[in-house]
Amino acid sequence: MSAQRMNRGSEQSRGKRTKFIFVTGGVVSSLGKGLSAASLGALLENRGLKITHLKLDPYINVDPGTMSPFQHGEVYVTDDGGETDLDLGHYERFSNAKMSRNNNVTTGRIYQNVINKERSGEYLGKTVQVIPHITDEIKRFMLNAAAGNDCVIVECGGTVGDIESLPFLEAIRQMKYEVGSENALYVHVTLVPYISTAHEVKTKPTQHSVMKLREIGIQADILLCRTDRPLSKEIKDKIAMFCSVEPGCVFTAADVSTIYALPLALNEEGFDDKVAEMLNIWSRAPRLEKWERIVRAIREPSRTVRIAVVGKYVEQTESYKSLNEALVHGGIANDCRVDLDYIDSSEIERLGAEALLRDADAVLVPGGFGIRGTEGKIAAVRYAREKKIPFFGICLGLQMAAIEFSRNVLGLEGANSVEFDEGTQHPVVSLMADQKEVKAKGGTMRLGAYPCVIEPGSLAYKVYGRAEISERHRHRYEVNNAYREKMTAAGLIASGVNPELGLVEMVELKSGHPYFIGCQFHPEFQSKPFAPHPLFTGFIRAGVEHRERKAHGIASQPPPVAATSSAPPPALGVNGSANGSAANGEKPADGAVPVVPVARA
């Protein structure tokens, strides 16, 4: 008997039975396994269960931190500094589960762990093989997540049939025998395409996908069929028969107008009821009123705002996934639809800021790496500052604001970041001291949550409503404190500072502008539809006000931002509790941010 199975027996004798739900995908990639898993987590959590998520990624990189945004999309950063897959962002946005570096594992990390154990002599005398050593390491990763949770939802990345994911699929096959068949469930997300020339949906791709899964030794218990239209009972019964699943275990996962409608759509299909039935989970019915309110707010806004996102990865919007969602959350808080206009900063260099930004109600410059397009971003910052258009800079966006201000207000010709010009005479953005000796690239940036103290009376303080915050970081470069005094004297103040190292965390214009703010951290990683991040709420509100002033022919003025009270109303959590706290009465996670009260138009 394996060690894992022995542990299972002792745990079950004490009454602990964590349920494992394995989500796989077939036919094609990008079917929405991550959103399906996140939605299931939301539904189970709303039944009063404590859930967590795991993501298994088959690529050999140890983590996605060194991968190009064009290939992998966004790198999602957790509080403990983990550089993880963007699906972990979906998991956190849809539930109260707190992700960490231990919620995402790759082939590279698994092999690295096994090789390190082999080198230290842990397998002394044995031949180290994929089975059992690699698969045991994967199972250990999954079993470690069981502690304290009612359900563990495990998403296996890749597509069934890919050679890269075979060790992970073999490990989840074995898990049924490690934890007991009554505690394991296999959900397969597949494609049922509509062929327009034949005027019918086709089930053969799904049949072949399930067949590939069975070749590996896994029999799907539930099928989630991605399609652009509802599937009839006749089609579902056909799929059930050919795929050897029970009638009633085939569900439509049709396209929805907003991702936040997916939990409602799956609940309407009866998906979570069937999961609870098959795993013998006794719980209350899910409470979905808050999800209904969010979807209604997205679908029926009373106004619109247009945000120009000036970046370098605009052709691959997955690179800004959390940012996009945080802007939607800000729209929810302000009862408005957010129209995003993605602008390649290189195009601003070619055509000029006026040509591309004149219709924007607000300008956002997000993070990024490398010199390409930076002059376009600097031009966008200058345009927003001089035209008094609401501006928000994130990470590199803050650094661009510091460079633009130094060049055009302080008169420091050639001011730049040493990332782009090591020989600049005015390095207003410099490499952090603890980064100067770092040679390795993977996992060596300033990563994870760090504290920040906000200047009382500043715009940042009025937006947050408090003086101490904690936000997630991912960067190597910082505003050079040697230039801080000059910037402050000229009107660009450091309104947020790290209390331990004195690093600049937030900047803003002290006066003369309606809304100009930048942050070195990534606030988008802590925004949820039920608890929009205050920086995005304030930014969208400023954009709405600017749009209304334009509509009435009123020049932009720097009106005082209405201060929040010292105890702002709590944000509604997923379960209707304050600040996203769980239904079991747990306190919200440290660093959680309150929603800013918004005056309705």
Indicate if the alpha-carbon torsion angle 305, 311, 316, 321 is positive or negative.
negative
Radius of gyration from C-alpha coordinates of the chain: 25
Q: Which residues lie closer than 8 Å to 400 by C-beta, 6 or more apart?
A: 365, 374, 377, 378, 380, 381, 393
Report which of 136, 156, 175 is spatially closest to residue 85, judged by C-alpha positions: 156
Render 450-479 in DSSP notation, one character per residue: EEEEEPTTSHHHHHHSSSEEEEEEEESEEE
Please count the other Cβ atoms lying within 10 Å of the Cβ belonging to residue 533: 28
Give the span between the Cα atoms of 462 and 447, in whole angstroms. Answer: 27
Q: How far is CA 142 from the centre of its chain?
A: 21
Q: Which residues lie closer than 8 Å to 300 by C-beta, 6 or more apart?
A: none
Provide the whole-model pTM.
Answer: 0.88
Render 177-200 in DSSP notation, one character per residue: HHH-GGGEEEEEEEE--EETTTTE
Report which of 421, 423, 450, 412 is spatially closest to residue 434, judged by C-alpha positions: 450
Q: What are phi and psi of 290, to 5 degrees?
A: -70, -35
Series of mean pLDDT values for 10-residue runs along the chain (601 residues): 47 67 92 95 96 95 78 86 93 96 95 95 93 96 94 95 94 96 97 92 94 96 95 95 94 94 96 95 89 96 96 78 95 96 93 95 90 92 97 96 96 93 92 71 81 96 96 92 95 95 95 96 96 97 95 68 40 38 37 36 30
Report which of 540, 344, 520 is spatially closest to residue 446, judged by C-alpha positions: 520
Active site residue 524: yes
Report which of 210, 181, 152, 148 is spatially closest to residue 22, judged by C-alpha positions: 152
Q: 21-292 and 302-431+440-551 share one CATH topology?
A: yes
Render 47-86 in DSSP notation, one character per residue: TT--EEEEEEE-SSSSSGGGS-HHHH-PPEE-TT--EE-T
Active site residue 475: no
* Domain ranges (residues) in the chain: 21-292, 302-431+440-551
Buried b (16+ CB within 10 A) or exposed e, 155-189: bbbbbbbeeebbbbbbbbbbbbebbbeebbbbbbb
Catalytic residue among 151, 249, 336, 395: 395
Decide the pairing of beta strands 516-519 and 477-479: unpaired
Catalytic residue among 473, 513, 522, 533: 522
Q: Which residues lie closer than 8 Å to 501 by C-beta, 6 or more apart?
A: none
Active site residue 519: no
Longest dimension (CA), the chain: 81
Of all helices (H) and strands (E), which one includes residue 129?
A: none
Residue 368: C-alpha distances to residues 15, 310, 312, 436, 444 (Å): 49, 11, 7, 20, 16
Domain 21-292: CATH superfamily, name plus number: P-loop containing nucleotide triphosphate hydrolases (3.40.50.300)
Please count the other Cβ atoms lying within 10 Å of the Cβ belonging to residue 292: 13
DSSP 8-class letter at 165:
T
Predicted local distance difference test score (pLDDT) of residue 319: 80
Domain 302-431+440-551: CATH superfamily, name plus number: Class I glutamine amidotransferase (GATase) domain (3.40.50.880)
Report which of 377, 393, 341, 342 is spatially closest to residue 522, judged by C-alpha positions: 393
Catalytic residue among 419, 505, 524, 545: 524
Render 206-250 in DSSP notation, one character per residue: HHHHHHHHHHHT---SEEEEEESSPPPHHHHHHHHHHHT--TT-E
Q: Which residues lie closer than 8 Å to 285 by C-beta, 6 or more apart?
A: 47
Decide the pairing of beta strands 76-77 and 83-84: antiparallel
Q: What are phi and psi of 154, to 5 degrees?
A: -110, 115
